[in-house]
Chain A
Amino acid sequence: MCGNLLETRDLRVEVNGVPILGGIDLEFEPGLVYAILGPNASGKSTLAKTVMGLPEYKITGGDILFNDESILRKTITERAQLGIAYAFQTPPSISGVKLDDFICRICPDYQCKAEADTLMGETCACKDVLYDDFERLGIRNLADRDLNDGFSGGESKRSELFQVLSMRPKIMFLDEPDSGLDYDSLKVVGHELKALREKGDTTLVIISHHRYVLEFLEVDKVYILQQGRLVYTGDMSDIPALEEKGYEKFLAEVTG
């Protein structure tokens, strides 16, 4: 198929000399919503981090194409600037860098047209709309906290989501954006992603173990990984059966 925004071709990845991904072919078209599913340790996070370019994940074979061009030689920064974003599962804390300043920094839309000496997240003046958005995500309390410092699990999810949304990427990998969230926060996150889907200019790739967000968003395509390989490609209609049977039984039946 042509017109893919991003694709992996026979992608092989190892970590510390241990092979994790054993040749994966995936395609992501612009504007669609994808779910990457699979049992624990099947390589879902590894795939996303490899696409982002994190150095622990060593590519031993295959390719990653963005708009038909290989990005293997691109740095993390270059990939981010191309429009690839990854919401971390456990982001590191960075002291002295406030979340609101940081979001202002990565998203010029939020920034007041301030003098040059307010750069570097020092006394960056942010527009009120930033705080409205914090409010909507239910994390207004994090605005002047240090980045990821002591954020609760659920807070961290929403802060990560906020950051990657702010980057206005072309494709975002959300690593379990729904885990550890209470019912209300789950709804908030669901609505946020739904709004993004409706705008239609971002490809969403959601790694998840829960059906709620996937069904709410009506994902277009479902990829299931197992032991570092793509073992099934389906759609939303597979999700109820998956939940009922579990991966082992479901996959045994469909790959039978």
Chain B
Amino acid sequence: MTSDNLKKRAESAKKKQAQFGEDIDLDNYEYTSSGTSEIESIDDVSSEDQALVREVGFDTSQENVSGSFIQFDTESILADVLLTQEGLEVLPMSQALEQYDWLKDYLWKAVPVDVDKYTARSELEQYNGYFIRAKAGVKIDMPVQSCLIMKKNQSVQNVHNIIIAEEGSELHIITGCATPSNVEQSLHLGVSEFYVKKNAQLSFTMVHRWSENTDVRPRSAAIVEENGTYISSYALLSPLKSIQTFPKVRLVGSGAKSDLYSIIYGTKNSKYDIGGLLSLEAQRTSGKVISRSIATDSSEIIARGDLVGLSSQTKARLECDGLLISDSAVIRAVPMLVARAEGAELSHEATVGKVGAEQLNYLMSRGLDEEEATSLIIRGFVKLKVPGLPPALQSSIDDAIKMSLEGGM
């Protein structure tokens, strides 16, 4: 698609409200017009900012990672690959687009530019983001870490990311997003497009920590080819103003597989509308959408999950579990199954409830007091085990969960 064409489609969708989530007036924010500056090395990042990125799991020593990417607002960027790591690219999107002419074919291919006003706006304003690629056949053991930090008031962080796992490659990415708590009002627009080629494996782990004044509207989608695997895990553990996201994974090659995990720990007045859609478009594709939500304080959580079976011999499962800790919080689980082909085997389980009296009494009979019993049940509930995830990434999730619970309880 030519870029003129893209702009035209984006213009036409500029006022198109999103299907879900509270509407945001995009004209209330400032967009960047200056270019991005490059940060040479992590040593050039202030110690304050280093502490901030560490909070979302970023390893500033960079010892156990194959590559790193940090972006502050839409302005400055650090992109780094371990010298000895072959077959891995981590580049700012602006640079990657200049470098590779073919990359524009991937831009807005998984996520249509005219989905809603957020994608449209993202295209129309200046953006940056990361391009991460594992070349064909390369197995990258250590994860790539990325971090998007939003520091400016009243402004928009406009990010467009493209991740490509070429044929037969293996790539693990952990990404953290954070806003310092002194930011008064801000908006994160994040477009992420994932391409998992034949026999490739990609895992994408997100640990996010926004501020109470941040609205977040990520738009992401993945396309998984024959026998490819895409695992996404999302831990959202801090309060924010609102988030609405509904990533879509298309399994287009036979034998493709995808598991989407999310854990939401709702606090304060935060509003969450988080979903995941698996579209099973080829034979023998399979996957899971697993979500766990805990609502405390006055938080509102909508947990969506859609399975769409478009081909025979497909199998997918949806699990949506919610635990309500406060009387003024709300959880709504919205599971949806659509089968359009014979032999699509789709199932779901959804539970929403308070900490069960039966469980509490049981634990108390073993000598725990009510508070200890409640906290044990909650801790058990939020444990998110992601099969197939490298241990280092699993422990990043575990640590983040532990940290939030300790802060909140």
Contact = CB atoms under 8 A, between A and B. Distances in A.
Interface of A: 52-55, 75-77, 79-81, 85-86, 88, 91-92, 94-97, 102, 105-106, 120-122, 146-147, 163, 167
B377 to A, nearest CB: 6
A169 to B, nearest CB: 9
A91 B366 CA distance: 12
B380 A97 contact: yes
B365 A52 contact: yes
B361 interface: yes
Name, among A55, A77, A97, A163, the residue most crowded by chain B CB atoms within 10 Å (CB to CB): A77
A109 B380 CA distance: 23
27 contacts: A54-B361, A55-B357, A55-B361, A75-B370, A76-B364, A76-B365, A77-B364, A80-B364, A85-B365, A91-B362, A92-B358, A92-B359, A92-B362, A94-B359, A94-B362, A94-B363, A94-B380, A96-B381, A96-B382, A97-B379, A102-B366, A106-B366, A106-B368, A120-B379, A122-B402, A146-B380, A163-B366
B367 interface: yes
A106 to B, nearest CB: 5
Nearest to B385: A96
Interface residues of B, number: 23
Name, among A52, A88, A92, the residue most crowded by chain B CB atoms within 10 Å (CB to CB): A92
A80 B376 contact: no
B382 A167 contact: no
Name, among A94, A163, A167, the residue most crowded by chain B CB atoms within 10 Å (CB to CB): A94
Interface in B350-393: 356-359, 361-370, 375-377, 379-383
A147 B363 CA distance: 11
B311 to A, nearest CB: 32
A105 B381 CA distance: 18
A29 to B, nearest CB: 23
Contacts of A167: 366-367
Contacts of A96: 379-383
Given A96-B382, A121-B379, A77 B357 contact: no
Contacts of A121: 376, 379
Interface in B312-346: none
A91 B381 CA distance: 17
Contacts of A77: 364, 367-370
A122 B401 CA distance: 11
Given A55-B357, A76-B364, 18 more contacts: A55-B361, A75-B364, A77-B367, A77-B370, A79-B365, A80-B365, A80-B366, A85-B366, A88-B362, A92-B358, A94-B362, A94-B376, A94-B377, A95-B380, A95-B383, A97-B376, A105-B368, A122-B379
Contacts of A79: 365
Nearest to B382: A96
Contacts of B383: 95-96
Nearest to B398: A122
A167 B365 CA distance: 10
| The 10 A-B residue pairs with the shortest CB-CB distance in the complex, in nearest-first order | A96-B380, A96-B383, A76-B364, A97-B380, A80-B367, A77-B369, A77-B364, A92-B358, A106-B366, A92-B359
Chain B interface secondary structure, helix, strand, loop or mixed? helix
A160 to B, nearest CB: 10
A86 B365 contact: yes
B35 to A, nearest CB: 45
Contacts of B362: 88, 91-92, 94
A52 B367 CA distance: 11
Name, among B356, B376, B377, B382, the residue most crowded by chain A CB atoms within 10 Å (CB to CB): B376
Name, among B358, B361, B381, B402, the residue most crowded by chain A CB atoms within 10 Å (CB to CB): B361
B268 to A, nearest CB: 23
Name, among A53, A86, A147, the residue most crowded by chain B CB atoms within 10 Å (CB to CB): A147
A75 B359 CA distance: 15
Name, among B363, B375, B379, the residue most crowded by chain A CB atoms within 10 Å (CB to CB): B363
A136 B365 CA distance: 24
A81 B366 CA distance: 8
B355 to A, nearest CB: 10
Contacts of A53: 365
Contacts of B379: 96-97, 120-122
A79 B369 CA distance: 11
A91 B364 CA distance: 13
Contacts of B402: 122
A138 B165 CA distance: 46
A94 B356 CA distance: 10
A54 B364 CA distance: 10
Contacts of B364: 75-77, 80
Nearest to B356: A92
Contacts of A146: 380
Contacts of B369: 75, 77
A94 B240 CA distance: 30
Contacts of A80: 364-367
A163 B366 CA distance: 8
Contacts of A55: 357, 361
A89 to B, nearest CB: 12
B306 to A, nearest CB: 24
A106 B357 CA distance: 19
Contacts of A106: 366-368
Contacts of A54: 361, 365
A80 B366 CA distance: 6
A252 B366 CA distance: 40
Interface string B139-152: 00000000000000
A163 B365 CA distance: 11
